[in-house]
Structure 1
Amino acid sequence: MQPASPQFWRRLTVGGKLMLITVLFAVSIAVLLAGTVSALRTQETMAAHSDAMGRQRFLVARYYIDVMQTAQGVPADFQSVKRIFDANVASMLTGGSVITDLDGYRQVLLPAAPTGEIERLLREQQEAMARLEAGLNRFLALPPEARADPAVIEEMVQLRKGVTARADEATRLFVRNAQEESQAMLGMMVALGIVAVLLGAAGVLLISRSIVRPLQDCVRLARAIADGDLRQQPLPVRSGDEVGRLMAAFNDMLEGLRAITAETRGTAGHLATSVQEILASIQQQASSTREQAAAVQEITTTVEEIGQSAQQVAEMAREVGSNADAIAGTGQHGLQAVQEAAAAMEAIRSQTESVAETIVALSERTQAIGEIISTVNEISEQSNLVALNAAIEAAGAGEQGRRFAVVANEIKALADQAKEATRQVRGILEQTQRNISTSVLLTEEALKRAGAGRDKALAAETVIRQMAGGVQETSGSFQQVVGATGQQQIGLEQIAQGLQQIRQASVQAASGTDQLAKAAESLSQLGGTLTRLMEKYRL
């Protein structure tokens, strides 16, 4: 368990720490001032005490002189001097006011005797003063001639010297005691000064350890982060003040930058991989779109060729009808004309079979177109999926992916247009297939009628009279063939228009994939730039 004082210091704010250091300095200065004032007052008291004790010698001499003057007939108030002496000694023993000026009665308040030795000397001084008073009273009671006896005067002098000797000894002892107390007070003041210096040094050390040094660590960490070095160890947080919260914030910022850098690097790598995949998919889609456009172009050419063939069939049918009319109108060539008509009918049957085969091939091509349209539809759906993935990646890329998101939306719109075009073309193809089915039926009917015309032409070899009727029927059948080929030609034109729309949609899809490829390349370059930027920060 940690001591309470460091915990208290750690919980303080910077202002609280500075305030506490200031209070400690203020208390130290106040203690020094109080000690100085106390020392001065003590010295003043000691000086007054010493002065009062020194004045006791003066009072003894004054008392002695006043008594001698009274003995010589000069009146003097020696009793008041004696009372002041006694009062001063009593105040020095127990503490109290001491008179230091006989004229103005100026008083000084003194404490009791500081030591037992001084108290003993003061009591001896009282006793000596009492003996001096008794001796002087006896001296005053002697007749004048006896007072002049040298032995008596010498006795009084010795009594006075006994009092003054004890007063001097008490004064010297008090001065020595005052000097010792002054030395002790000086030592205490020095100790207080040392304590104040130590407190100041401790305050400076605490400020350095709790504020300056952590701030230097924060500056070092900030410079390392600015240089891209995120491998720094977290700062040790040892307090809960503003500096500690600043260090904790630096640690959180370091961890956040590490996480952001790592995530950004991973995202950049994932973005590069995704862009490569999207680019490959776009290139594949572009290749498929170009193949689709080529296939549509080939189908369009084939349909145009079928239309030309149908037109040729119609022209041939008209020519055959004209020939039949000529045969029916002239009837001059007879059997030879009928044989030629039979041969022509055989040729018509062959042509009709060729037309039927062509129509069947057209039906197969139409089915192939349907499959191609399904493929285009699947490609459109894949384009929608790619555009969705691209939009997700652009959203993950943030601000830098907004251009890519625009391109992805454009691709999705083009894919939707292609899908709508394929739906329309599918409807056209379904109508075309129905028309082709009708053309197949009509062609089969034409084949049957061509066969019947051939049979009638053969019968005309024996029955020339029936030639006109057979030729007439043949002419009608060829008129039907002309009508059927006309309808077939209309259907082929519709198929050609649908294929042209498919081709235009394929061209638009190819253009969109090219734009998407360029956007993917730009996004790839952006990912590379982001990776290079993140390489500045070392984890």
Structure 2
Amino acid sequence: MLRLKNIAVGIKLVVLIIILLGAVVTVGLTSYHGIRLLEALNRQSEQQQETVRSMAVAERAHETVRALVFRALVAAHTGDTTELNATGEELPTVLDSMTGTLETLGTASLEQETKDTLARIRPDVTAYLAQAQDLVTLAQRTDRAKAVEGISQFRDTYTKAGEGLQELGLLVRGGTSFMTAQSEDAAANATKNASTVFTIAAILAVGLGWAITRSITKPLAKMTKAASRIADGDIVQQIGHISKDELGTLADAFRELIAYIHGIATAADTVSKGDLTVRIAPKSEQDVLSRSFARMVDTLREMNGRIQDGTQVLASSISQILTSVSQMATSTHETASAVTETTSTIEEVKHIARASNQKAKEVAVSSQQTASVSLGGEQALERAAAGMRRIREQMNSIADSVIRLGEQSQTIGGIIDTVNALAEQSTLLAVNAAIEAANAGTHGKGFAVVAREVKNLATQSRNATAQVQHILNDIQKAANIAVLVTEQGTKSVEVGVEQSLEAGDSIRVLSQNITEAAHAMTQISASSEQQLLGIDQVAYAMANVQRATSQNAEGVRHIEGAARDLQSVGETLKELAAQYTLARNGLR
């Protein structure tokens, strides 16, 4: 078995095939020899059988000749010419058949004793045939006397020839039995020899075949079992087969494969423990697994380096984000405080605007009253022509009215100053609101529109108050003139009619101015209403800004919490990346 291990598998198979072919050839040759022997014996047996048949023909011919002779004699005695002629024609054929049979027996392969017996009885048979021919010839010639004389001699010859043929038949038949027995023995020996050779060849073929097959299949079975376990993940396998044939080469390749897989597994285990400094050297240019594993380790090393750099950048960015978020939170709180203060200021402005609106309404009412007074003065002037006697009293009344008008004009002037101050404050408030709206960004767009409207209303208020101031100046001038007129009226009643007419004109102008002043105050009141509405809208917008600021503050707090969570994730990622060793010097 040890020697078989060192023989190549191809040679083993060739040897096995040669052994099988040798066994087949041996069995074939043995069978061929037996078949040739059987054929020879068969040919001898056939010749012997032919000899036996020839002997039988000779024996039948011996009896037939005797019968023909007696038929001829009877026919001659009875005078049956036809029968006699037929017998004469048939006898030569039988004689020729018997003569040919004897000649055939003489040429056959017979034993020497049989040949000697044949040679000894042949003259007797020939004499017997000659006498038969003579007797038939005498019968045909109707020579009865000679024929009767020859019958006694013919009987002796017949008996002698019959005894000789009988002896020869026994020898021939005995030789046939011997040949048959010899053929059977030869067939039995051939079969026995073929069986023996076949058995020996089969045993040798099976034994050597089993040994060769065992030397091939046993290592293959072990290596197949090891390969199955390797396929199941159990790479700790031992291949103990060592030989110099192909199976030994396959076993060496298996051992190298196990060592190769074990090396890859060890490297993978090292990588799984965080050591990325492992190096895999490819076995050859076709070593796809080692090259792929090396690329994977390089990629992991590069990715880990990038992750470590990224975690550092992430930590720095998160710190900056936290700083920015803290600043944003502070700014948001400051903005919320500013919005709260602005809301309080707007509430105060709202109260002031309401007071201004109330004053404007009162001024409008006073203007209406002044207009009514002016209308009364105009009516008094119309009645002046009819009642100059009451001029003095009316002039005094007019003086009083003018004085009250001056006082009311001064009051209106104070209210106008207040409205101008409110308008200036509204303008400043609108400017501040526009600035805050710009700082608020998207949430301050609506507030910017409201601030612009408040600014427009403040501008309209300044224009209206300027116009009212101009009208009040005219009223004051007219009042001064009226005072002078009334003073002159008291001094000079004589010129009352002319002065009444002049006063009537002045009163009419004054009435028109007062009517215009009343109209202007109505506009101021309406503007104050609109300004109050605008301030309400500003207050509502500031409330929205305050809510948005609160929401921004809450969002900033959420962002700060998310940034801190992100910082925690970055620290965790940094710790995970730090678990991998990127170089032998410990750099990570």
The match for 1:383 is: 440
Q: Structure 2: how far apart are the matches of 1:496 and 1:234? A: 80
Q: Structure 1: how far apart are the matches of 2:272 and 2:457? A: 76
Q: Please tell me whether residue 517 in structure 1 is matched to residue 547 in structure 2.
A: no
Structure 1 residues 308-367: Cα deviation after superposition (integer angstroms, max 9, x where no partner): 232232133134325524643355544344233213212211221221232133223212
Q: Structure 1: how far apart are the matches of 2:260 and 2:484? A: 128
Q: Structure 2: how far apart are the matches of 1:255 and 1:524? A: 33
Q: CA deviation at 1:194?
A: 11
Q: How does 1:390-429 map to 2 (within 5 A)?
A: 412=442, 414-429=443-458
SS of aligned partner of 1:376: helix
Q: Structure 2: how far apart are the matches of 1:426 and 1:496? A: 15
* Contact 2:333 2:553 survives alignment (8 Å): no
The match for 1:373 is: 430
* Contact 1:321 1:478 survives alignment (8 Å): yes
Structure number with bigger Rg: 2
Structure 1 residues 371-397: Cα deviation after superposition (integer angstroms, max 9, x where no partner): 21111111121122xxxxxxxxxxxxx
The match for 1:445 is: 474
Q: CA deviation at 1:237?
A: 4.9
Q: 2:534 aligns with which of 496, 501, 504?
A: 501
SS of aligned partner of 2:298: helix
Q: Please tell me whether residue 245 in structure 1 is matched to residue 274 in structure 2.
A: no
Q: CA deviation at 1:445?
A: 0.6
Matched to 1:451, the amino acid is N
* Contact 1:317 1:479 survives alignment (8 Å): no
The match for 2:515 is: 482
The match for 1:468 is: 500
* Contact 1:439 1:488 survives alignment (8 Å): yes
Relative to structure 1, is the Cα distance of residues 526 and 441 closer, same or farther in structure 2, using a 3 angstrom cutoff? closer
Matched to 1:364, the amino acid is A
Q: Please tell me whether residue 208 in structure 1 is matched to residue 257 in structure 2.
A: no
Matched to 1:491, the amino acid is I
Q: 2:359 aligns with which of 290, 301, 306?
A: 306
Q: 1:348 aligns with which of 401, 405, 420?
A: 405
Q: How does 1:275-314 map to 2 (within 5 A)?
A: 275-277=328-330, 279-314=332-367
Q: CA deviation at 1:513?
A: 3.9
**TM-score, length-normalised on structure 1?**
0.51
* Contact 1:432 1:491 survives alignment (8 Å): yes
Q: Structure 1: how far apart are the matches of 2:346 and 2:276? A: 63
Structure 1 residues 245-276: Cα deviation after superposition (integer angstroms, max 9, x where no partner): 22233334434444454444444441532541
Relative to structure 1, is the Cα distance of residues 33 and 524 closer, same or farther in structure 2, using a 3 angstrom cutoff? farther
Matched to 2:435, the amino acid is E
The match for 1:364 is: 421
Q: CA deviation at 1:510?
A: 2.6
Q: Structure 1: how far apart are the matches of 2:279 and 2:478? A: 106
- Equivalenced residue count is 323
**TM-score, length-normalised on structure 2?**
0.47
Q: Structure 1: how far apart are the matches of 2:535 and 2:278? A: 70
Q: Structure 1: how far apart are the matches of 2:309 and 2:388? A: 104
SS of aligned partner of 2:273: helix
Relative to structure 1, is the Cα distance of residues 288 and 208 closer, same or farther in structure 2, using a 3 angstrom cutoff? farther
Q: Structure 2: how far apart are the matches of 1:523 and 1:483? A: 57
Task: Give the root-mean-square deviation of aligned CA atoms.
Answer: 3.8
Q: Structure 1: how far apart are the matches of 2:252 and 2:297? A: 29
Q: Structure 1: how far apart are the matches of 2:392 and 2:276? A: 117
Q: CA deviation at 1:453?
A: 0.5
Q: Structure 2: how far apart are the matches of 1:248 and 1:324? A: 110
Q: CA deviation at 1:450?
A: 0.5
SS of aligned partner of 2:492: coil
Q: Structure 2: how far apart are the matches of 1:433 and 1:285? A: 28
Q: Structure 2: how far apart are the matches of 1:517 and 1:263? A: 32
Q: Structure 2: how far apart are the matches of 1:267 and 1:492? A: 59
Q: Structure 1: how far apart are the matches of 2:419 and 2:507? A: 27
Structure 1 residues 438-466: Cα deviation after superposition (integer angstroms, max 9, x where no partner): 21111111100000001111111112325
Matched to 1:345, the amino acid is V
* Contact 1:457 1:470 survives alignment (8 Å): no
Q: Structure 1: how far apart are the matches of 2:333 and 2:277? A: 48
Structure 1 residues 78-112: Cα deviation after superposition (integer angstroms, max 9, x where no partner): xxxxxxxxxxxxxxxxxxxxxxxxxxxxxxxxxxx
* Contact 1:303 1:496 survives alignment (8 Å): no
Q: How does 1:76-475 map to 2 (within 5 A)?
A: 204-209=258-263, 211-221=264-274, 234-238=276-280, 241-269=291-319, 270=321, 272-273=325-326, 275-277=328-330, 279-325=332-378, 327-328=380-381, 329=383, 332-384=389-441, 412=442, 414-464=443-493, 465=496, 468-469=500-501, 471-472=503-504, 473-474=506-507
Relative to structure 1, is the Cα distance of residues 378 and 319 closer, same or farther in structure 2, using a 3 angstrom cutoff? same
Segments of 5+ residues of structure 1 without an aligned counterpart are 1-31, 45-187, 222-232, 385-411
Segments of 5+ residues of structure 2 without an aligned counterpart are 16-241, 282-289, 576-588
Q: CA deviation at 1:189?
A: 6.1
Q: CA deviation at 1:436?
A: 2.0
Matched to 2:262, the amino acid is S
Matched to 1:469, the amino acid is L
SS of aligned partner of 2:490: coil
The match for 2:561 is: 528
Q: Structure 1: how far apart are the matches of 2:276 and 2:338? A: 51
Matched to 2:295, the amino acid is R
Q: Structure 2: how far apart are the matches of 1:455 and 1:287? A: 56
Q: Structure 2: how far apart are the matches of 1:203 and 1:418? A: 80
* Contact 2:446 2:541 survives alignment (8 Å): no
Structure 1 residues 494-513: Cα deviation after superposition (integer angstroms, max 9, x where no partner): 24314422431441243144
